[in-house]
Amino acid sequence: MKKAIQILTFKTFLFYRNQLEKIAKAIKNAFPEYCETIYCKSSGTLPNTGTDYFLLGNRAEVVAKENDILFSVNWVEGQKTGFFLDQRENRKLLSEFSKGKKVLNTFCYTGGFSIYAMSAGAKLVTSVDISQKAVDLATSNMELNFPNANHKAVADDVFNFMKEHMQQYDVIILDPPAFAKSIKNKHTATQAYKRLNIAGLKTLAPNGILFTFSCSQVIDDVLFYNTVAAAAIETGRNIRVLHKLEQGLDHPTNIYHPEGHYLKGLVLFVE
């Protein structure tokens, strides 16, 4: 039985790879002047098949430009694609609130929000992530754009860091990884989002701005909004919603798959 499953998995993988090669060829034909490398990153889709591999070229890293800001992107070693393109418009919006402000970017990863804040003239930007590798990457990307920036990169648990810096930041970004990857984790994730937003609201200085997000598919817009509202009630602060955010237009949602609208966000003014 085990051997039969292995043969079936192998045949499925061959079919899967054949289809991917056709897709890669179509992409190359559509963008012949720009497409140099296509990398398949789908480990875990098919067990024991080693499905991360190059379909075209062999380049693993590049410096990309987004709204005139540079980022080093490694799609082989980085998380998912190595750079979260779905937050592009939200990073740009952050620029409108950052001039002269002390900005805290939690779960910073590549430092996207941090660098946009600095590009808008932030007084101080602090990037926090529990991963030292992520913090180093955020530092590298900041130096790529602003070598002399007033930027602090800290490898620490986000909750611990915010607990030690109450009301010290004018703008805070809460952009955590998905707390719920399946429906069975929905309740636990909801409680985690509530605790995170309570911590963020307590760390925010008076008349501050909070950007808060969820990328969990099973947490819909209404549940996320209500969870943030519950956090607001617990802190007792007067809060107004300035913007409701979502993924970029190049990440459209199929009407028959509402879970595809995975990225939800709010911009809050906190008195």
Look up residue 186 and give its two tokens. Answer: 């929905």
Provide φ and ψ at 151, rounded to 5°: -125, 130
Paired strand residues for 71: 64
- Three-state SS string over the chain comes to CHHHHHHHHHHHHHHHHHHHHHHHHHHHHHCCCCCCCEEECCCCCCCCCCCCEEEECCCCEEEEEECCEEEEEECCCCCCCCCCHHHHHHHHHHHHHCCCCEEEEECCCCCHHHHHHHHCCCCEEEEEECCHHHHHHHHHHHHHHCCCCCEEEEECCHHHHHHCCCCCEEEEEECCCCCCCCHHHHHHHHHHHHHHHHHHHHHEEEEEEEEEEECCCCCCHHHHHHHHHHHHHHHCCCEEEEEEEECCCCCCCCCCCHHHCCCEEEEEEEC
List 35, 40, 108, 215, catalytic entry: 215
Q: Is 35 a catalytic residue?
A: no
Contact (Cβ atoms closer than 8 angstroms) between residue 219 and residue 264 = yes
Instruction: Give the number of other CB atoms < 10 A from CB of residue 254.
Output: 9
Provide the annotated active-site residues: 215
